[in-house]
Every structure is written in C-alpha cells, then in structure tokens.
Amino acid sequence: MFTQNILSKYLSYLVLSNSMIKNIAITGSSGFIGTYFIKNNSEFSIKEIDLLTQKVEGLDFIGIDSVLHLAALVHQAKSKNDEEYFRINRDLAFNTAKMAKLQGVRQFVLMSTVKVYGESTNDQMPWNESSNCNPEDAYGQSKYEAERLILALEDDSFRVAIIRSPLVYGAGVKANMYNLIKFVNRFPILPLGGINNKRSLVYIGNLVALISKVIQEQVSGIFIAGDTEPLSTSQICCLIANSLNKRVVFIRMPRILQIVSKSIVPSYYNRLFGSLLVDNGKTNEHLGFSPPFSSEQGIRIMVEWYRDIQK
C-alpha cells in the first residue's frame, strides 16, 4: 500500500509538473549553512525537513528533484559518544538517501568534510578529490562511511554528489572562528605573528554558490569546496583586525610556548600552527565554477556581523 501511494503521487507529479524551477528538500535547514542557503535563495523551491521531529519513514520526497542533506552532528564542546556520530552522520544520512531514492528523487547531495582525509597536511601535498581518505576521529570516520554507503546507492536514475568542505566561516559563525574574532578584538598585542602555515577555508557564500551549481547542473561525484587561496593563521588575524578597524600588534609566540602548547593542547596547537590544504581545481574546472567572494570580502562581512551583534 505504501509503495502504491508513492507511485501514484509520483506519476501525478510527472504529469502535472512542468516548472523549470527545481524543487529541493533540505535537511538541517535551521543550521548555519541551511539558514544562509534559504535566506539567499532565488532559484529553487525549497521544502525544509526537520529530522529532529520527523521520522525518516514518514518523509515525503515526492516531487523533489534534489535532496540537500545538511543535518549532522559536528564537533561538540561537550564530548559525545562515538556511537552518536555514527547514528546521526552515517545511519540517518544513509536512511534518508534510501528514502529519497525510493520516492524518485533524482539527486542526493551530501554535505561532508575534508576531515575524511585526516587532520592536517603538514609536510604533505594538498588533498584533492581523489586523495586517499584516512579519517582520524569519529566525526571524520562517520562522514566517510556515510559517503561510501550513499555512493553505493547511485544508479542511472539516482545521482549522488558529495561536497567535502573545510572550515566554513561567515555571518553567524560559531565556535573557533567566532572565538578568534573575540580574541583579536579584545587584545592589542597578540602572539600570532609570523605563522607560515596554510589553511584552506570557505566563505559560506562561496560554499552555497557551489552547492547551488551542483544542484542546478544535477551532477554527481566528489567535489571540494574552498576559497580561491589558502590563508595562514597570521593572515586571517590581520584581515580580522583590519575589518575591526583595530590596530593590533602581532608578535611571534616564543618557541618554548609553542612546544608546551603542542604537548598540553595538541588540537588547539594544530588549529593555530598546523596546515590543512586542499586543491579543488578539478571541482572548479569540472563545474565551470569560480568562487564569487574573495576571502577578504568574506571575512569583512563576517566581522561586520560580529560588530552588529555586539551593539
């Protein structure tokens, strides 16, 4: 009976629908990326899916061209059990994709992460779309396993697109980038000068533009998001200071303090001094895509938002 109802609704959609506007469903639509996507959308008809209140078995994807799956458990300030990452990031994503395929959705877009490759590219070549994956924590592993399971569903009538993203920043950002803005804003002298690492980032406007391109073109494959050029930690801090119109003196952190911080808080040390570099040239070439915003523009917009919420 369930299958007959789906078939009936799908056939009705094929007969009645002649719109050129693509109908998409977004899970995790209230999150950072989803909120920006919906607010700045002008080319899709969007159905929001709340997987916190809706069971997968009851989802209605009839008439939907593409599902954009943003719902995920990301790194938490309070530690989560590994099982939670796999339950949400792998199992929920896979079951949602299966339901989408069953109901005739043409394309499933999974938001993933460059952490499927690992934690850093120190002394390594940049990661690209075909690099080996070696995730080092439950978050990266759960995302990688979701990718593999969902890609296995792909066939001629069901396309799967995986978008691997580095750190996303922009208005509304939380966690590390938000704390970095506060840090730069608060102190006139900072020990973050002379850091020569390279970190790939993506401004949320560039990420959403890439997602939109993937959906409009109805493409499949693995894609990497990113701004045009990577930045060092020192460059990021300087751009933040400039956008804050603050005069900040950057000095080098003494080597002994670097060694101590690396030993005591290695994860924080790696975020400040380590490199995480991706090469998304193949993605941009394949899609004929160029990020519409520079890093300077993205950071300025983010800092303007920060200044507004402090008023």
* Interatomic CA distance for residues 135 and 144, integer angstroms: 8
What is d(CA 88, CA 75) in angstroms, rounded to the nearest whole number?
Answer: 13
On whether the CB atoms of residues 93 and 139 are closer than 8 A, the answer is no
Q: How far apart are CA 65 and CA 33, in angstroms?
A: 20
Structure tokens given for 305: 């938002």
The answer to whether residue 139 is catalytic is yes
Q: How far lies 215's CA from each of 10, 43, 101, 221, 241, in Å?
A: 20, 10, 16, 12, 36
CB 309 within 8 A of CB 176: no
* Pairwise CA distance, residues 300 & 10, whole Å: 46
Q: And the tokens for 74? A: 């990301």
User: How far is CA 5 from its chain centroid?
Assistant: 35
Helix/strand/coil (H/E/C) assignment for every residue in 36-92: HHHHCCCCEEEEEECCCCCCHHHCCCCCCCEEEECCCCCCCCCCCCHHHHHHHHHHH
* Annotated active-site residue in 36, 85, 139, 203: 139
| Residue positions annotated with a catalytic role | 139
